[in-house]
């Protein structure tokens, strides 16, 4: 954010005007604003793999520019940031829009901005898999429309002010929807837990576990398996059923190399809002796919993004599946640098930790993101954990140790207390009934 504010405050326009000839001095402002977007995001994109940090830098620079320099030539700023993030189609559409904005009235450009940016997205399909970049495209569209529509907004501000109650209602509905979504997710861990859960291993044993979600992936899963094989480490892979059928050779390789295989749903949907029948399909179809392809029957289930519901937990209990969660996320979905991911894990490593990685998947879906940082991080993480005296074991070994020491039950103290209260109440009722029967 500091980098973005610095780039926003930096005014290269005066410097360029001093260097340029008077005939072309009018291009100093667009060039300066273009550099404001290009330099910060480009520098971060060159140093850090992935899409999130360059996008965050671009958004910070955009916010700094709007707060410090106004809305002047904001399309040129968006153009520079899009170029820095290699969104060539979007940058081309923005370049046409920015040049047209110098000559054409804004009202006519408003109608062109949507189709132009849509074409820009189509021209760069390989760059639009990451959700953060899609957020950036959405932000570009909104910013361009707000910038180009500033004249009509001023002229019709009375009418727009009348629509403000509707906007407030829409925001309130959206807030309630998000709040309900969060409550549904948390409801799975409230009240009585009917299935066995594994969040961490017993702290008495100096062991940790590494897990991977969203695979198998033809590009990154073989690389992850190579690193694990070189370091003689066993991990757990929670596989998406649909991808198991798409890439059976890779799924079979995971099983052949002795790694634990878990169920990660069939379609990687949000399971917190599904009914019993849909949840049964998500679980059973994946179980069947893994059994047919890998020859093993998963005993552990991990819901996408860890979102559960009471119905899901009941479905897992009926099938005697363990709800396997994690204690520490590597945050590799943010596509941080390998050093940042490794230091975030090893600095706070403790016995019993279960680490969450991804060998596929982006922020929302089960495929599409760049997992190069994850592959490069693994050797550092394994070495760092070893230096701290921790041994990486399979999740099945950790589950066995947790069961042996009743650690899984200790994680559900609330359920145990409720069961004890119910047994005590039942004993009291039985004793009272026997006294009544014995009374003359």
Q: Which residues are catalytic?
A: 213, 358
Q: Please list, residue by residue across 253-287, b when 16 or more beta carbons sit within 10 angstroms of its beta carbon and e when fewer do.
A: bbbeeebbbbbbbbbbbbbbebeeeebeebbebbb
Query: Cβ(309)–Cβ(272) under 8 Å?
Result: yes
Q: Is 352 left (phi over 0), alpha (psi -120 to 50) or beta?
A: left
Query: Which residues, in sequence order, are bridge partners of residue 211?
Result: 236, 356
Neighbours of 151 (CB within 10 A): 12
Measure the CA angle with vertex 81, ends 79 and 83; round to 5°: 70
Strands 322-324 and 391-393: unpaired
Tokens of 130: 């990451």
Distance CA 236, CA 302 (A): 11
3-state secondary structure of 322: strand
3-state secondary structure of 323: strand
Query: Cβ(317)–Cβ(268) under 8 Å?
Result: no
Burial of 437 (0-12, 13-18, 19+ CB in 10 A): exposed
* Residues ≥6 apart with Cβ < 8 Å to 100: 109, 112
Tokens of 35: 């550099």
Tokens of 306: 């860890």
């Amino acid at each position: 954010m500091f980098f973005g504010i610095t780039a926003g405050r930096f005014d290269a326009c005066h410097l360029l005007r001093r260097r340029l000839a008077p005939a072309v001095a009018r291009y100093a402002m667009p060039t300066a604003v273009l550099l404001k977007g290009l330099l910060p995001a480009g520098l971060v994109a060159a140093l850090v793999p992935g899409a999130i940090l360059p996008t965050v830098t671009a958004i910070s620079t955009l916010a700094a520019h709007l707060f410090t320099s106004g809305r002047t030539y904001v399309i040129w700023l968006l153009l520079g940031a899009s170029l820095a993030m290699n969104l060539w189609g979007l940058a081309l559409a923005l370049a046409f829009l920015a040049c047209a904005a110098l000559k054409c009235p804004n009202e006519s450009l408003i109608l062109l901005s949507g189709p132009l940016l849509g074409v820009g997205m189509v021209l760069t399909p390989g760059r639009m898999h990451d959700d953060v970049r899609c957020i950036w495209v959405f932000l570009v569209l909104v910013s361009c429309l707000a910038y180009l529509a500033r004249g009509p907004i001023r002229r019709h501000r009375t009418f727009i002010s009348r629509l403000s109650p509707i906007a407030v209602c829409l925001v309130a509905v959206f807030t309630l929807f998000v709040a309900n979504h969060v409550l549904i997710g948390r409801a799975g861990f409230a009240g009585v837990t009917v299935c066995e859960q594994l969040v961490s291993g017993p702290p008495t044993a100096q062991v940790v576990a590494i897990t991977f979600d969203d695979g198998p992936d033809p590009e990154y899963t073989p690389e992850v398996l190579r690193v694990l094989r070189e370091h003689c480490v066993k991990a757990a892979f929670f596989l998406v059923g649909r991808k198991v059928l798409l890439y059976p050779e890779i799924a079979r390789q995971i099983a052949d190399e002795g790694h634990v295989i878990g169920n990660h749903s069939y379609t990687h949907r949000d399971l917190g809002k599904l009914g019993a029948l849909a949840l049964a399909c998500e679980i059973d179809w994946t179980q069947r796919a893994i059994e047919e392809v890998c020859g093993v029957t998963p005993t552990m289930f991990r819901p996408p993004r860890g979102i559960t519901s009471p119905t899901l937990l009941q479905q897992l209990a009926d099938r005697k599946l363990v709800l396997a969660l994690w204690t520490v996320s590597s945050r590799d979905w943010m596509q941080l640098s390998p050093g940042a991911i490794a230091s975030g894990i090893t600095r706070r490593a403790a016995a019993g930790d279960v680490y969450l990685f991804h060998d596929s998947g982006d922020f929302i879906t089960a495929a599409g993101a760049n997992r190069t940082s994850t592959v490069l991080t693994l050797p550092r993480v394994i070495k760092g954990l070893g230096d701290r005296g921790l041994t990486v074991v399979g999740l099945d070994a950790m589950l066995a140790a947790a069961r042996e020491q009743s650690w899984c039950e200790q994680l559900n103290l609330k359920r145990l207390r409720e069961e004890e209260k119910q047994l005590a109440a039942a004993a009291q009722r039985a004793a009272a009934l026997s006294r009544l029967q014995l009374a003359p």
